[in-house]
Amino acid sequence: MNRSESERNLTENRQTSHRILLVNYECPPLGGGGGVAAWKLAKGWVALGWDVDYLTSKYPGLSAREVVEGITVYRVPAWGRKDRATATMLSMLCYVISAILKGIQLCIRRHYRFINTHFAIPSGPVGAILSTVFRLPNILSVHGGDIYDPSKTMSPHRHAALRSVVNAMLRQASNVVSQSSNTHDNVRKYYNASVPIEIIPLAYESIDFPEKERSGLGMEEGIFYLISTGRLVERKGYRYLIEALSRLPEKVSLIIIGDGPLLASLQEKATTIGVADHIIWTGYVTEERKFQYLRAADLYVLSSLHEGFGIVIQEAMQVSLPIVATNYGGQVDLIDDGYTGLLVPPADVSALACVIRRLYDDPVLREILAQRAHKKLTAFMPSLIATRYLELIGE
C-alpha cells in the first residue's frame, strides 16, 4: 500500500469512527463546574452511541484508567495538586506534558473522529498539539474562568503572555464554543482572535437521590435555610453572603457545601460578625448528599463575583428551589430577573440581604419563581447539547 492510499484509509477510518477524545484537566471528583459540565456532555455522546475517552489529571485514590458510566477515563500525572477543589500552577503544567504524551498514544490506537478540549488554559495546548499532529478537528470549549476571572490577579485577560496563549488556542481550534453570552462577550472584548464562536449552554442531567429528613442532615425544624454550593475561593463571593446573613432574621441560617483554600478565613469572618452558629459547613460531600441538602433547604443563593455559566443554578432548578443570584456572568442566561429568580449586583451586601429578606417574607413568590425555573431544565438535556456539538463537525 503506497502512502497516498494509507493516508486515504486513515482519513476514512476517522470519518467513520464514532470515538471522541475529550481533553480536560479536571474531571469529577476533581475541580468544579467545568469538569462536571464536560462529564455530562460526554454522557450525552455515549447516549447517542459514541465512544468517549476522557483524558484528565490523576490524584491519589483515583485509578489511572477506569470505565465509568460508559466513559473511559484516563488519568495522567499532575504533580503538585494539593486538594480536589483547586489545581496549582505546577499541577497544570505537569498535566499538559503528561496528557500530550498519553494523548499521542491514544490517537495512534483509537482513531478519533474529533477532539473536544475544555478550557483554553491549561488544557488548550494538549488539544491543539494532538489536533495538529493527527489532523483532527478540535472543538475548544471555553468556560469563563480560563479567559476571564475578575477575582484573580493572574487571570489571562490581564496578562499579555497568557492572552497570547489563549489567542493561539482560539485560532487553532476548528470550532470555539462558549457556554454563555457573557463568556462569548468576554472573548470578543479581551482577545484578538477573530474566530466564530458558537454559544452552546452546558448540559444538565437530573440526579436521582433519596430524600432525607432535616434531622438526618443536622438541620433544625422552624429554621429558614439558605444554601450555596461551590469551591471556597474568592470568585464565589462567600464573604458577601456571610455578611448578608448578619443582616437577616435570627431564624435564617446558611448551608455552605464545598471546600477550598478560604475555609479558615471565612469561618473566622463568620465568628467575628457573630453568625458562626447560623452556618453549616459541610465540606466536600457526595452528589447524593448535596442534593439531599438542596431539597431540604428553602432558598438558593449564588453570591459569585462572576460565573462562566452556573451549573449550581441548574441544580437548584432541579429541586425547585427559588433562586437569588448575582447579575454578572453566564447565570443571567438562566435567570430572568423577576420571573425565574431575582438578581442583584455582585459584592452588594445590602442588595443581597434585601432580596433574601423579600423572599423570606413571601412564600408565594418563592413558589412561583421556583416552578418557572424548574420548567427551563428540559432545554439542557445532555443528548440535545451533545447533538449541537456534533452538528459543528457535520455529524
Strands laid side by side in the 114-118 sheet: 65-68, 71-76, 51-57, 19-23, 114-118, 138-142, 175-178, 197-199
Question: In whole angstroms, what is the distance from residue 139 CA to residue 261 CA?
Answer: 32
CA distances from 265 to 125, 255, 268, 269 (A): 35, 16, 5, 6
pLDDT score, position 373: 95
- The pTM of the full predicted model, rounded to 2 decimals, is 0.83
Mean predicted lDDT score pLDDT of the chain: 92
Q: pLDDT tens for residues 71-93?
A: 999 999 999 888 887 789 899 99
Domains along the sequence of the chain with CATH: 9-200 (3.40.50.2000), 214-379 (3.40.50.2000)
Percent of the chain with pLDDT over 70: 96
Low-confidence ranges of the chain (pLDDT < 70): 1-16
DSSP secondary structure, 140-207, as one string: EEE-STTT--TT-TT-GGG-HHHHHHHHHHHHH-SEEEESSHHHHHHHHHH------EEE-PPP--PP
Query: CB of 19 within 8 A of CB of 50?
Result: yes
Taking only Cα atoms into account, the Rg of the chain, rounded to an integer number of angstroms, comes to: 22
Q: List the one residue out of 108, 110, 122, 136 whose CA is nearest residue 56.
A: 122
Q: List the one residue out of 313, 309, 383, 318 whose CA is nearest residue 43.
A: 383
Name the grid cell of 318.
432541579
Q: pLDDT tens for residues 57-72?
A: 999 999 999 999 999 9
Query: CB of 43 within 8 A of CB of 204?
Result: no
